[in-house]
Structure 1
Amino acid sequence: MARRPQRGSHAISQRAIGADVVLMRDAVTPERLTHEMATAPTQAILMRGNPVFSSTVIASNPHLRVIAKHGAGVDSVDIDAATKQRVLVMVAGDANAPAVAEHTIALILALGRDVVSLNERTHSGAWDRATYRGREIRGRTLGLVGFGRIARHVARTAAALGMTVVALGRSKGRVDPALAREAADLTELLAVSDIVSLHAPLTDATRGMIDAARLNAMKSGAILINTARGALVDEDALCAALSSGHLAGAGLDTLAQEPPAKDRPILQAPNLIVTPHIAAQTGASITRTGVEAARNIAAVLTRGDIDRANVVNPAALDPP
């Protein structure tokens, strides 16, 4: 993309694809995106985090050809508007899936063996060896809500640890029977799972999907894991389910509000582990993801071979 550097940005010449890259180091608001793209024709955006690409922002630059996500979640992009303008929205494939899957398993293990609470008690002088009884994950049932790249990695690891895996994809037949048994519906998955792990995208249909009724439908003593999007879960209802003891614990790498206010009730819930949306933040994962996102952009700008598996809106590839 041909650009000139703006204040707070740093331009690098990319001769290989005939483009100048502008790094937007400051807060990326819709207004700033619109301003930057109006300054010079912008053909590609590499998006880290979740800046809002509304229909207005997308329409503000008729030169835009691709929005490449440094990761997998694209809920902040108006996909319909991008498709209408024939802008490809692309994700970084499997690049960060192993890291997120590892973090998911780490949360399951930490909650199952009470790692955080035992560490705190031991540091405070307690020694619970005579009375503590942990819970093995071997032989337990893990329910995966969503069966994309990350969930598949989780399923493989869980099976290796001796767990039974059931899963629910976006549509029937999307669950690989070699990795998991396909649940009939979410009601069945919640009823049979000792641990429920969320791997669904955030859409109008999935927002708040794990509400009070669905939390109550989970097994007594079950564990909830969310390394996907915070808004999939009704946090007040989760707080109540943890406080009542209906759920044995929850592990969240993402919250509806990030960063959360210090007085947010969910942070006071018992048996809760919260990490600051860092499941994908390993050195190797960041490198893989950045390279894959850059490859997506290079393929579009040079009219190379586009990996269709990375395209969120394949209709934008169809002839006009």
Structure 2
Amino acid sequence: MKIVILDGGVLNPGDVDWAPIKALGDVTIYESTNSDQLAERSKGADVLLTNKTPLRKEDLPAIEGVRMVGILATGYNIIDTEALAQRGIPVCNVVAYGVSDVAQHAMAMLLELCRHTSLHTESVKNGDWLKSKQWCYWKLPPVCLEGLTMGLIGFGSIGRRMGELAHAFGMSVLANCRVPKDPPTYSPFAFATLEHIICSSDVISLHCPLTKETKHIINAKALSNMRKGAILLNTSRGPLVDEAAAAAALKSGQLSGLGTDVLSEEPPTADNPLLSAPNTLITPHIAWATTRARQNIIDLTAENIRRWQSGTPVNVVNGVSNA
């Protein structure tokens, strides 16, 4: 079996092990692949693995002979899954490889927005403490999370872990999801409507998938209905947020802070309104990128290939079950 990895450079710059996939066949790994290189590099491949290299309908002639496509990630919006389904090619993604990793990243941004640790570290290094007339000082007053309400939009594995972390900090937790079930044992917790979460939360954290229904789920109307001074977190998908509306809310003070690991366009262009918005933390889509999580992606992808080869495919996102 020939396996081609189109863009292994981001997932593995050399600190994790491809061995679980290499054990399954003849493996060729490319740092990155552009559309002009796709046909040559895919030639003879049974399995094609991609992280960010798009596979659109117009690319299908270039991957003639491929029998399975694996995504080295959870999101599959770069893949035309329907077009591949019409060719009988299953598309398998990787799920739950970095649940705690992503939730901890969201919580790290929340703590930074509330405690302003970087701001005060730089202030001390610049000599402000030495010059202060008081024994201690603050540029912005810190915020305690205990007693505040965390609203979770999306309550899958990452949303649930985020709820556990919020509870550990003494927060009440509200959650919205398509099918409310299996409520956690901690309290206070409640499932709630989207409208109730928007109106009643001090912190809103996004953990839902990007669909036609959820695009711009955080828009000007939603932002205007939030508690004044609320904090918004997004470690899911950039287009969930209307970035121009969020930037306006940050400038007006309706939002007191935004922490996001994702943007509508990645990397952002210079005119992205969030780049100049106050009290905004932006990280380069790295919530998933711990060494542990990236090794999990490789291990789980290998298991996807094994299961597909045995005729019992798992994590198929386009409904094709044939091996």
TM-score band, normalised by shorter chain? 0.7 to 0.9
Contact conserved, 1:147 with 1:175, CA < 8 A, in 2? Answer: no
Q: Structure 1 residues 117, 55: CA separation in 2 closer, same or farther (over 3 Å shift)? A: same
Contact conserved, 2:4 with 2:41, CA < 8 A, in 1? Answer: no
Q: Which residue of 1 aligns with 2:30?
A: 24
1:164 aligns with 2:172: yes
1:251 is paired with a residue whose SS is strand
Q: Distance in 2 between matches of 1:174 and 1:234?
A: 29
Q: Distance in 2 between matches of 1:204 and 1:291?
A: 31
Paired residue total: 306
Query: What is the Cα deviation at residue 318 of structure 1?
Result: 7.3
- Superposition pairs for residues 117-132 of structure 1, below 5 Å? 117-127=119-129, 129-130=136-137
Q: Which residue of 2 aligns with 1:259?
A: 267
Query: Deviating runs (4+, > 6 A) in structure 1?
Result: 3-6, 12-15
Query: What is the Cα deviation at residue 312 of structure 1?
Result: 2.5
Q: Which amino acid aligns with 1:188?
A: H
Q: CA RMSD in A?
A: 3.0
Contact conserved, 1:137 with 1:163, CA < 8 A, in 2? Answer: yes
Q: Distance in 1 between matches of 2:27 and 2:298?
A: 14
Deviations 1:231-266 (A, max 9, x none): 221111111111111111000111122222345331
1:187 aligns with 2:195: yes
TM-score (norm 2): 0.84
1:69 aligns with 2:71: yes
Q: Which residue of 2 aligns with 1:245?
A: 253
Q: Distance in 2 between matches of 1:71 and 1:15?
A: 18
Q: Distance in 1 between matches of 2:212 and 2:115?
A: 35
Instruction: List gaps (5 residues or longer) in structure 1.
Output: none
Query: What is the Cα deviation at residue 35 of structure 1?
Result: 4.3
Instruction: List gaps (5 residues or longer) in structure 2.
Output: 10-18
Query: What is the Cα deviation at residue 173 of structure 1?
Result: 2.4
Q: Which residue of 2 aligns with 1:311?
A: 316
Query: What is the Cα deviation at residue 15 of structure 1?
Result: 7.5
TM-score (norm 1): 0.84
Query: What is the Cα deviation at residue 122 of structure 1?
Result: 2.7
Contact conserved, 2:38 with 2:62, CA < 8 A, in 1? Answer: no
Identical-residue share of aligned pairs (%): 32
Q: Structure 1 residues 3, 166: CA separation in 2 closer, same or farther (over 3 Å shift)? A: closer
- Superposition pairs for residues 1-320 of structure 1, below 5 Å? 1-2=1-2, 16-17=23-24, 19-26=25-32, 28-37=33-42, 39-40=43-44, 42-48=45-51, 50-58=52-60, 60-127=62-129, 129-130=136-137, 133-169=141-177, 171-174=178-181, 176-178=183-185, 180-184=189-193, 186-303=194-311, 305-306=312-313, 308=314, 310-313=315-318, 315-317=319-321
Q: Structure 1 residues 247, 282: CA separation in 2 closer, same or farther (over 3 Å shift)? A: same
Q: Distance in 2 between matches of 1:89 and 1:5?
A: 14
Q: Structure 1 residues 287, 55: CA separation in 2 closer, same or farther (over 3 Å shift)? A: same
Query: What is the Cα deviation at residue 34 of structure 1?
Result: 4.1
Question: Which range is displaced more, 264-273 or 81-90?
Answer: 81-90
Deviations 1:36-74 (A, max 9, x none): 33x22x2222222x2222123246545333322222111
